[in-house]
Chains A and B, each alone.
Chain A
Amino acid sequence: MSHWIILPVILPAILAPFIVLAARHHIGIQRTLAVAGVAALIGIAAALAWQAADGTITIYQLGDWAAPFGIVLVADRLSTLMVLLTATLGLFVLLYAIGSGWDERGRHFHALFQFQLMGLMGAFLTGDLFNLFVFFEVLLIASYGLMIHSGGAVRLRAGVQYVLYNLLGSTLFLFALGALYAETGTLNMADLAVRIAQIDMGGTVGIRVAAVLLLLVFAVKAAVVPLHFWLPSSYAEAPGPVAALFAIMTKVGAYAIIRVYTLIFPPDLAATAGLYGLWLLPAALISVAIGMIGVLAARRLDRLVAYATIGSMGMVMVAISLFTPEGIAAALYYILHSTLSAATLFLIADLVRTGRGSMALRATAPMSGAALTAGMFFAAAIAMVGLPPLSGFVGKLLILDAAVASPLVVWIWAVVLGTSLICLVGFSRAGSVLFWKADAVQNPEVAVMPPAPSALAYVAVGGLLALMVALTVFAGPVYRHSTAIAAQLFDPAPYIGVVLDTPGKLSGDGAGDDAGHAEADKQESEDH
């Protein structure tokens, strides 16, 4: 059994306490450790993604206990892609936090950052629904700390809303898990897939309730309308680099929906048929519309970017809710694009705040380093709106193309194209007010120019932009890979086989077959 799969979880889990305990007075050592840790994570993630690229599914049994009663981590194409994306985003965000000095404005930034990464990695790799809940909590509790990093009354209040919303989501998640366990007697994803397929039409009420509850929980995480209310304040008030890291958090919701609704409740399952087409797709379309209208209505740059995040998350959900291999492949490409572009925009918004001292969309005197920031904003806005030539355009094209087969194709095309126009107007207005009108302001409001952000901050934003350019240039290979991921997701038999048939401790005597609650395995169940 290869131990590489658990390293993305273990490495930050070891590094974070070490940073708190041994290096809490030395920001230099903290930074070195954090950057080295994330760089190592990228290496591990790339190796895992390489290993999974040919369709291999690798399993890691914690404590050598076999599924379904032991905890398993599973690395397939989808989870390794998300792990690699998280690690890469983590590096650039960390560089920005160091370059802009955000990590010095409160305590324990680096430790919380590592815990956040640990939760994200675990959520992507786990093969067990209860463990998904646990990792959700790990990443949330770290995000609470990051969210209120460096304090302030407004940020704390936004933080309280964020915490309460997520606590409600967690409670809902537990209700869903309870309902699912009561119906099936297992929480391992592969085992659930097998058992739910066996349930006849008479006993599906509990399953349907659980499926809807789970969808609600993940929709809260993914900020799908009408469960998006937590996002604008939280993301706008969070420190810039933290908001940029949070760009991946909404994708956790999208990932969980893809995983659970291809594996456990596949589209052809009678018990939950029509859930996506009937409910998720309209909600996703409304999310796109509300997000983009919010872009137009925002009076502050950080709110504008937060609403753009809702819109682009809605776009991801539109593609997911088609639930065809083409739709999922397009969604995965758009997830990559949306994470990078939202993170870039949040970092640029922070650059603007540093330069002007305010996020309000009104003209003030030109800020230091305006030309470079304006250029970056221009590029990132093009990507987010979805104009050619950047990756947003490719992503939207893929989604439009995948939507052709859907009965709601007219609606999808109308909403996607119409909102792109609204979004374009919103971003053009923001950009012209922030950067062009600045030259016309005669008497500067600020007598002393704030210092320009350090070069490292620009390097981090530039790096993310370069990744987006790469995503555009290599759109062909990336799309081929996401098609391969979708193909693997729509053929869950190998996944189920690997998870359930890999023998572990105490499974030599034939336990681990489908004998229900196998006696010896039973005592060692979930983690405590």
Chain B
Amino acid sequence: MELLVASAIGILTSAGLYLMLRLRTFPVIMGISLLTYAVNVFLFASGRLTVGAPPILGDADIYTDPLPQALVLTAIVISFGMTAVAVMMALGSYLGADDDRVNDPANDPEDVT
């Protein structure tokens, strides 16, 4: 299971980074989403991997660390919000500049003397 989780995190991260390097808004936003999935899985794994155990203390002998679950919950909420903001701004930028590149245009209008 460790191998599965580790390679999932690795594949998600590398795919995310690849998409980010495309420098077009839609792939970049997809890449950011993949990266946040990767980091969320990584946060789960930071509390050690336990199968079939509840994240609460109770009658059960084994329990999984509940703190990473709380961290992931917060991280998911934040990353959803951030992705929404990024999508809105990318949309605005696309509609305003009429192309979906992320990098600066070659010639800044005010630079020309």
Q: Give A contacts to B, CB under 8 Å.
A: 130, 134, 137, 140-141, 144, 148, 151-154, 156-161, 163-164, 167-168, 170-171, 174-175, 177-179, 181-182, 185, 187, 233, 299-300, 358-360, 362, 517, 519, 522-523, 525-528
Which has the most chain A C-beta neighbours within 10 Å: B32, B36, B89?
B89
Instruction: Indicate if the CB atoms of A523 and B66 lie closer than 8 Å.
Output: yes
Set of chain B residues within 8 Å of A177, measured between Cβ atoms: 43, 71
Judge if B15 is at the interface, Cβ distance under 8 Å.
no
**B10 contacts chain A at the CB level, 8 A cutoff:** no
Q: Which of A152, A174, A181 contacts B47 (CB 8 A)?
A: A181
Contact A156 B96 (CB under 8 A): yes
B20 touches A160 (CB 8 A): no
Which residues of B sit under 8 angstroms from A526, Cβ to Cβ? 67, 70-71, 74
Instruction: Give the residues from 37 to 92 in chain B that come closer than 8 angstroms, CB to CB, to chain A.
Output: 38-39, 42-43, 45-48, 56-57, 65-68, 70-71, 73-75, 78-79, 81-83, 85-86, 89-90, 92
* B89 and A152 form a contact (CB under 8 A): no
Contacts of A182 in B (CB 8 A): 45-48
**A528–B110 contact, CB under 8 A?**
no
In terms of DSSP, what is the predominant structure of the interface of chain A? Answer: helix
Given A157-B93, A163-B89, do A168 and B35 touch, yes or no (CB 8 Å)? yes
Residues of chain B whose beta carbon lies under 8 Å from any beta carbon of chain A:
20, 25, 28, 32, 35-36, 38-39, 42-43, 45-48, 56-57, 65-68, 70-71, 73-75, 78-79, 81-83, 85-86, 89-90, 92-93, 96-97, 102-105, 108, 110-111, 113
Given contacts A134-B78, A160-B93, A522 and B57 within 8 Å (CB-CB): yes
Tell which of B57, B74, B102, B108 touches A164, judged by Cβ atoms closer than 8 Å.
B102
Tell me if B's interface is mostly helix, strand, loop or mixed. Answer: helix
The reply to whether B39 and A171 form a contact with Cβ atoms under 8 Å apart is yes
From residue B110, how far is it (CB to closest CB) to chain A in Å? 5
Is the CB–CB distance between A170 and B97 below 8 Å? no
Q: Which residues of chain A have C-beta atoms less than 8 A from B25's C-beta?
A: 160
Sample 14 A-B pairs with CB under 8 A, ordered by A number: A130-B71, A141-B81, A141-B85, A156-B89, A156-B92, A157-B97, A164-B32, A164-B86, A164-B102, A167-B86, A174-B39, A181-B67, A299-B113, A360-B110
